[in-house]
A and B are shown apart, each in its own frame.
Chain A
Amino acid sequence: MKGKALSLLSDYGLFVILVILVAISALLSPLFFTAANLKNFISQASYNGILSVGMTFVILIGGIDLSVGSIVGFASILYGTLMHGNFFTFMPNEIFIYKGATVLTPILPLPFDIIFVLLIGGLLGFLNGVISSRFHIHSFIVSLCMMIFVRGLAVSYTNGQPLFGVPDSISYLAYGEPLGIPMPAIVWLIICIIAVWILKYTRFGRRIYAVGGDEEAARLSGIQPSLYQIFPLIVSGLLAAAVGIIMSGRMGCGDPKIGEGWQTDAIAAVVIGGASLSGGKGGIGGTIIGVLIMGLINNVMNLLEIDAYPQQMAKGIIIIAALAIQGVFSARNSND
């Protein structure tokens, strides 16, 4: 009962922090409450939001996925490649010189290219999961290696050059505004709804919580942990690939260098949202608020024209502070 009250309070507290931050932002910059900025804010936040949904799954089982930023870049350049089938006939060094020609020669018809990229993203996540689960290595270190490998693959594959030209349907994913709501936000919302459904209303989701809370207890009650340890990393890789595709639409090109460092934003959002890094605690609701808080801080710092480097420092402090608050709280609970 007491624990329930405390968790209610912490959810409520997060919401209060969000409201306070909105008020402060409005005071600091008169530009904040303009329709253009709000639309910009929400569509910027949705990229991190989509990644954070995957990261929530991973953190719920006590893992962490550092490779999502690299998978975003890889998915983006992979999508660009699928759009430029005629490039395959040239030698690599000729392929990647930008000649101003953006004639699209898709290899696969429309829905299948997206599905293919999503599958590759899922496959990379699956590799993370299998190695981590099979060899009992914590997923942060497996995904750290994967981060380096995937980024190296993406960048060396095109010598760091972007591939220009994406179809209109993909640009619509990034820039479309049905009913005045930016399309990325709609994608984010749909993904959140599916994730909430999986986590709250299916046996599978509840077992993810069980495995994250106590692997040994879950095993003893007849749950095969490895399945539930691999699945979240697949989700994370798949959603990272989705972000990569939408990002290609946003930039009008496949860029292998996009997404560098995005994994830390996603981790920060999930942790601010109240998820515990030791697993078993957290949810999509908290993550959404975490994403909005992170996005708000980014947005305001940009509006105030603060340099990128102090912004990076602030991010580091925010992550540590969120974890520290959590650590102090959990210490107090365990002492009771």
Chain B
Amino acid sequence: MNRLAKYISHDSDLSIILRYVVLLILIVVASIMAPGFISMQNMLNLLRSFSFLGFISIGMTFVILSGGIDLSVAAILAFSGVLLGLFQHWGIYLGHVDTLSLLAPTPILFLIILSIGSIFGLINGLLITKLRIADFAATLGSMIFIRGFAFAISGGRSIFNLDGMALFLGRGMVGPVPFVAILFFISVIICSIILRYTIFGKRLYATGENPIVARLSGINPQKYKIIAYTISGFFASLAGICMAGRLNVGEPRVAEGWELDAIAAVVIGGTSFAGGKGGVINTVLGVIIIGLIRNILSLLGILPDPQEMIMGIVLLFAIVIGSLGTRKGSLARV
């Protein structure tokens, strides 16, 4: 067992190769089942559908690198979408629902929503570090609260029709490439530069690897953990805005259970639960693997409920693989 753990654990080159083999197998399976799978157009479409999960997985990467875990991302995603819908239908409170009535110009709305998402993340970080609540417990509480908040402000309704700029964010194409995919890849590049080549990134890894050692070498681990959670909140609300644009609706029920998909994507990508190892590029690989599995299940014509059941096993398997060779590190207190 230990030998197996050593082979699959994060240090060996074999583990990276193993992930690419899995990816290759998935692509082969998918292309056998659906002849049009390999076409350029389908690839670009897939790229778009991966991007939404991709955004929250980037944020989750920062959090898991810092030794934490964030269960509230899917709730923040839904909340941001609802908020965008409400801000663009401000007249909903005056009784006319379907006409657009913007609270402010759309870019400003985006900024407001992104900062609200970041503030949720900041609050998570503060709860965890200052009040010493366990990571998963604090974010579980805020997940329930934020999801309830999204339902409460929308009255449980879906808010249809958004304006052109919001739609472009989710559906727009630049040439043949979906805009949201471009946004995703820009985010990936920026984040991996931050993680690899800046002092902030190096200190984040140090915090995740061993908070006590980090503190003794003059790093304030609490600060880096708070920043990681804030980044996660930011990306969750970015995903929420894009998702609302894609679906053309602000919907409080959207993305239920995605927090687990994001965690699994990060872990499949090879970022260790114990913190301190991995990166954003790895996460992209994980996102593609998770997305392909869901895509193949849909191609097989499996209904949503059995799909959830299968995903439950897949995610469990992924997390077991991702945790081989680590101790119970995900709950390291700062």
Chain B residues with CB below 8 A from A330, complex form: 132
Chain B residues with CB below 8 A from A328, complex form: 131-132
Q: Evaluate whether A312 and B144 lie within 8 angstroms (CB atoms) in the complex, with A145-B312, A156-B305 already known.
A: yes
Chain B CB within 10 A, most for which of A160, A312, A317: A312
B-contacting residues, A55-79, CB 8 Å: 64
**Least Cβ–Cβ distance between B252 and chain A, in angstroms:** 9
B-contacting residues, A245-297, CB 8 Å: 261, 264, 267, 271, 277-278
Query: Does A135 make an interface contact (CB < 8 A)?
Result: yes
In the bound complex, how far is the Cα of B127 from the Cα of A151, in angstroms? 31
Q: Do A137 and B328 touch across chains, with their CB atoms under 8 A apart?
A: yes
**Least Cβ–Cβ distance between A267 and chain B, in angstroms:** 8
Q: Which of A277, A316, A324 contacts B148 (CB 8 A)?
A: A316
Please tell me the size bucket of the interface on A.
35 or more
**Residue ID in chain B nearest A140 by CB atoms:** B136
B-contacting residues, A295-336, CB 8 Å: 307-317, 319-320, 323-324, 327-328, 330-331
In the bound complex, how far is the Cα of B252 from the Cα of A308, in angstroms? 14
Q: Which of B137, B145, B263 contacts A323 (CB 8 A)?
A: B137
Q: Which of B137, B149, B273, B309 contacts A277 (CB 8 A)?
A: B137
Query: Does A22 make an interface contact (CB < 8 A)?
Result: no
**Residue ID in chain A nearest B155 by CB atoms:** A309
Q: Do A135 and B143 touch across chains, with their CB atoms under 8 A apart?
A: no
Query: Does A149 make an interface contact (CB < 8 A)?
Result: yes
Q: Do B323 and A152 touch across chains, with their CB atoms under 8 A apart?
A: no
Q: Do B141 and A320 touch across chains, with their CB atoms under 8 A apart?
A: yes
* Dominant secondary structure of chain A at its interface with chain B: helix
Q: Which of A131, A138, A148, A151 contacts B320 (CB 8 A)?
A: A131
Query: Does A83 make an interface contact (CB < 8 A)?
Result: no
Q: Which of B140, B142, B316 contacts A131 (CB 8 A)?
A: B316
Q: Evaluate whether A319 and B141 lie within 8 angstroms (CB atoms) in the complex, with A131-B316, A135-B320, A324-B133 already known.
A: yes
Q: Do A142 and B319 touch across chains, with their CB atoms under 8 A apart?
A: yes
Q: Do B138 and A323 touch across chains, with their CB atoms under 8 A apart?
A: yes
Q: Do A320 and B138 touch across chains, with their CB atoms under 8 A apart?
A: yes
In the bound complex, how far is the Cα of B243 from the Cα of A183, in angstroms? 48
Query: Does B280 make an interface contact (CB < 8 A)?
Result: no
Q: Evaluate whether A323 and B152 lie within 8 angstroms (CB atoms) in the complex, with A146-B312, A264-B140 already known.
A: no
Chain B residues with CB below 8 A from A313, complex form: 144-145, 148-149, 152
Query: Does B112 make an interface contact (CB < 8 A)?
Result: no
In the bound complex, how far is the Cα of B306 from the Cα of A153, in angstroms? 7
Q: Evaluate whether A137 and B323 lie within 8 angstroms (CB atoms) in the complex, with A278-B134, A310-B148 already known.
A: yes
Chain A CB within 10 A, most for which of B127, B133, B315: B133
In the bound complex, how far is the Cα of B323 from the Cα of A156, in angstroms? 29
In the bound complex, how far is the Cα of B120 from the Cα of A320, in angstroms? 14
Q: Do A323 and B141 touch across chains, with their CB atoms under 8 A apart?
A: yes
In the bound complex, how far is the Cα of B331 from the Cα of A42, in angstroms? 36
Query: Does A18 make an interface contact (CB < 8 A)?
Result: no
Q: Do A317 and B145 touch across chains, with their CB atoms under 8 A apart?
A: yes
Q: Evaluate whether A312 and B148 lie within 8 angstroms (CB atoms) in the complex, with A135-B320, A142-B316, A323-B141 already known.
A: yes
Query: Does B156 make an interface contact (CB < 8 A)?
Result: yes
Chain B residues with CB below 8 A from A170, complex form: none
B-contacting residues, A141-175, CB 8 Å: 141-142, 144-153, 155-156, 159-160
Chain A residues with CB below 8 A from B31, complex form: none
Q: Evaluate whether A310 and B152 lie within 8 angstroms (CB atoms) in the complex, with A144-B260, A315-B144 already known.
A: yes
Q: Which of B133, B140, B315, B330 contacts A138 (CB 8 A)?
A: B330
Q: Do B137 and A319 touch across chains, with their CB atoms under 8 A apart?
A: yes
Q: Do A152 and B307 touch across chains, with their CB atoms under 8 A apart?
A: yes
Contact with A along B295-334 (1 / 0, CB 8 A): 0000000010111111111011001100110111011000
Q: Evaluate whether A156 and B306 lie within 8 angstroms (CB atoms) in the complex, with A141-B263, A309-B151, A324-B133 already known.
A: yes
Chain A CB within 10 A, most for which of B257, B310, B320: B320
Chain B residues with CB below 8 A from A312, complex form: 144-145, 147-148, 151-152
Query: Does B146 make an interface contact (CB < 8 A)?
Result: yes
In the bound complex, how far is the Cα of B69 from the Cα of A136, in angstroms? 16
In the bound complex, how far is the Cα of B313 from the Cα of A152, in angstroms? 10
Q: Which of B144, B310, B319 contacts A316 (CB 8 A)?
A: B144
In the bound complex, how far is the Cα of B166 from the Cα of A142, in angstroms? 37
**Residue ID in chain A nearest B317 by CB atoms:** A145
Q: Do B148 and A315 touch across chains, with their CB atoms under 8 A apart?
A: yes
Chain B residues with CB below 8 A from A309, complex form: 148-149, 151-152, 155-156
Q: Evaluate whether A156 and B303 lie within 8 angstroms (CB atoms) in the complex, with A145-B312, A145-B315 already known.
A: yes
**Residue ID in chain A nearest B261 by CB atoms:** A148
Q: Do A136 and B323 touch across chains, with their CB atoms under 8 A apart?
A: yes
In the bound complex, how far is the Cα of B324 from the Cα of A156, in angstroms? 31
Q: Do B152 and A319 touch across chains, with their CB atoms under 8 A apart?
A: no
Chain B residues with CB below 8 A from A149, complex form: 308-309, 312-313, 316
User: Can you report 13 A-B residue pairs in the complex whose CB atoms are below 8 A from each other?
Assistant: A138-B330, A138-B331, A144-B260, A152-B306, A152-B312, A267-B137, A309-B148, A310-B148, A312-B147, A313-B149, A320-B138, A323-B138, A328-B131
The 7 closest A-B pairs by CB, nearest first: A316-B145, A149-B312, A152-B309, A312-B148, A152-B308, A145-B316, A316-B144
With A159-B305, A277-B134, A315-B144 already in contact, 10 other A-B pairs whose C-beta atoms are closer than 8 Å: A138-B328, A138-B330, A142-B319, A145-B315, A145-B319, A277-B133, A278-B134, A308-B151, A311-B148, A324-B133
